[in-house]
Amino acid sequence: MSSETAGNSPEESSPEDAGQLQATAAAVAGTGTSEQWLARYSNSLMGVFGSPQRVLVRGAGAVVWDADGKEYLDLLGGIAVNALGHAHPFVTSVIASQLATLGHVSNFFTSPTQIALAEKLLELSGAPAGSKVFFANSGTEANEAAFKLARAHGKANPSPDGRARSTILALEGAFHGRTMGALALTAKQAYREPFEPMPGGVRHIAFNDIDALRDALDGTVAALVIEPVQGEAGVRPLSAEYLVAARELTTQAGALLIVDEVQTGVGRTGDWFAGIAAGIQPDAMTLAKGLGGGFPIGALITFGRGPSSLLSAGQHGTTFGGNPVATAAALATLHVLEAQDILANVRAVSRIFAEGLATIDAVTAVRAHGLLIGFDLARPVAAGVVAAALDAGFIVNAPRPSTIRLAPPLNLTAEQAASFLAALPGLIQTAVAAQPTEGASS
Ligand SMILES: *Cc1c(COP(=O)(O)O)cnc(C)c1O
């Protein structure tokens, strides 16, 4: 081999070497029992997530298996990410073929999947002429872009009385991500305090309170950021009246309305986008979780020419965002959601959950927004229910001490939903029995 081709020729590695490598994850990661993996985890992974509940090795549809071969029905879907479940054959093959064709180019270049996905998102969101898309890799990054959009709007549109338009309003209970800008928008003190000072200008106002919003919207406000349904706060919806008022009042005040649909978007609630389904067109919308069907991607959509021209060349960027593989994954996911009318399934299975949960005595409230479902328990035993569910082969989540959240694959079947509903009373009983003294001292 000549030196000119060394390092970039397909002939560089010998066919024998390649033949000896099995192209599987186990070949590069190795194998082990759950116990062995968890010991290695605690010695090598930063402790920010606490101790993982299980070591998962394989998935198919709404089912996953752990390293010991135990099977689970995944009713959390990677927190509203695995829109079509695990290892969806169409999504998987589109990703593999895109990666085998062209995996990454910098944003000095573009690719057909990036352009086609931007067009598709503008079509699905009913965005007017002049609307635009920016691709990121996650929800928090999409919200960072939205944060900068709000700042740019504030600079371009000073308050009529000459004050800086530098305030960004967010809501109590909000979750917008963990990077500094998105964290400043996030309400939870425990997430914020260790990392103060936060980026300035963010104010949190009362949830779902139109009067509080009206009072807060003075000439210094650049943007209001809201989630149509607060997922991390226990699946807590804004009322339709609030959404409409938020649109009207921000327009009157000259502030942007930014809707964070990272969790609620892309069919999760039974509509493509919860805010748009409620009849409001935001100035900007952020997406991530379900968009790539399990592959990391985020997006900021700006509606109309004004918001879409706020960030100009050189003012924002990303290396990975909008890469060919991530955008192919999202196109494949949207294609299946549309071609198989999965949103109709979301609405049908949501009703099964809502009706089934309502018949369970220990469940005191049900908030079913498509397949983003929160339900409250009579006692604060949600963590115990999560543990009992895992033992029984179900993955669910406890965002609050008395609240269980479900965010399963959007193609979950009625039978799969029914199997959980049948097991749930027993799971709650197990959790209550494990905490016999709860309530006695408080
Ligand atoms: C999950 C979430 C985020 C953050 O997304 P990451 O991909 O974890 O950064 C932001 N906003 C909402 C509403 C979310 O649910």
For the segment 264-276, what is each residue's pLDDT rounded down to a tens digit?
A: 999 999 999 999 9
160 confidence band (pLDDT: 50, 70, 90)? confident
pLDDT at 1: 37
Expressed in angstroms and rounded, the spacing between residue 54 Cα and the centre of ligand 1 is 22
Query: What average pLDDT score do residues 55-83 get?
Result: 97
Query: What average pLDDT score do residues 69-96 get?
Result: 98
pTM of the model: 0.94
- Same domain for 244 and 118: yes
Cα separation, 4 vs 72, in Å, equals 53
Expressed in angstroms and rounded, the spacing between residue 145 Cα and the centre of ligand 1 is 13
**Residue 362 above 90 pLDDT?**
yes
- Same domain for 119 and 262: yes
Residue to substitute in 175, 235, 258, 405 for testing ligand 1 pocket (most ligand atoms within 8 angstroms of CB): 175
Average pLDDT over the chain reads: 94
pLDDT at 9: 45
**187 close to 223: Cβ distance less than 8 angstroms:** no
Domain count, the chain: 2
Query: What average pLDDT score do residues 287-299 get?
Result: 98
With a 6 Å cutoff on the Cβ, whether 227 touches ligand 1 is: yes
- Same domain for 105 and 44: no
Instruction: Find out whether 260 is annotated in a ligand binding site.
Output: yes
**Residue 99 above 80 pLDDT?**
yes
Domain boundary among the residues 339, 367, 396 is at 339
Q: Which two tokens stand for residue 82?
A: 């695995």
Expressed in angstroms and rounded, the spacing between residue 325 Cα and the centre of ligand 1 is 21
425 C-beta neighbours (distance < 10 Å), count? 14
- Same domain for 259 and 283: yes
Cα separation, 112 vs 133, in Å, equals 14
With a 6 Å cutoff on the Cβ, whether 78 touches ligand 1 is: no
Expressed in angstroms and rounded, the spacing between residue 13 Cα and the centre of ligand 1 is 41
- Same domain for 334 and 214: yes
Expressed in angstroms and rounded, the spacing between residue 234 Cα and the centre of ligand 1 is 14
Cα separation, 178 vs 173, in Å, equals 14
pLDDT at 8: 44
Expressed in angstroms and rounded, the spacing between residue 158 Cα and the centre of ligand 1 is 30
- Same domain for 358 and 333: no
pLDDT at 162: 85
- Same domain for 407 and 363: yes
Q: Which of 414, 412, 410, 421 is nearest to 366 (CA)?
A: 421
With a 6 Å cutoff on the Cβ, whether 176 touches ligand 1 is: yes
Residue to substitute in 176, 188, 230 for testing ligand 1 pocket (most ligand atoms within 8 angstroms of CB): 176
Residue to substitute in 263, 291, 300 for testing ligand 1 pocket (most ligand atoms within 8 angstroms of CB): 263
Q: Give the DSSP H or E segment for 116.
A: helix 112-124
Domain boundary among the residues 339, 359, 389 is at 339
Edge-to-edge strands, sheet with 256-260 = 132-136, 298-302, 284-287, 256-260, 221-226, 167-171, 202-205
- Same domain for 406 and 284: no
Instruction: Find out whether 261 is annotated in a ligand binding site.
Output: yes
Residues, the chain: 442
- Same domain for 304 and 179: yes
Torsion angle (degrees, nearest 10) of CA 181, 182, 183, 187: 130
103 confidence band (pLDDT: 50, 70, 90)? very high
- Same domain for 190 and 67: no
**Residue 440 above 60 pLDDT?**
no
Q: Could you tell me the residue range of the domain that residue 194 belongs to?
A: 93-339
Domain boundary among the residues 282, 312, 339 is at 339
Q: What is the pLDDT of residues 2-44, one digit of tens each?
A: 444 444 444 444 545 555 666 888 889 999 999 999 999 999 9
With a 6 Å cutoff on the Cβ, whether 288 touches ligand 1 is: yes
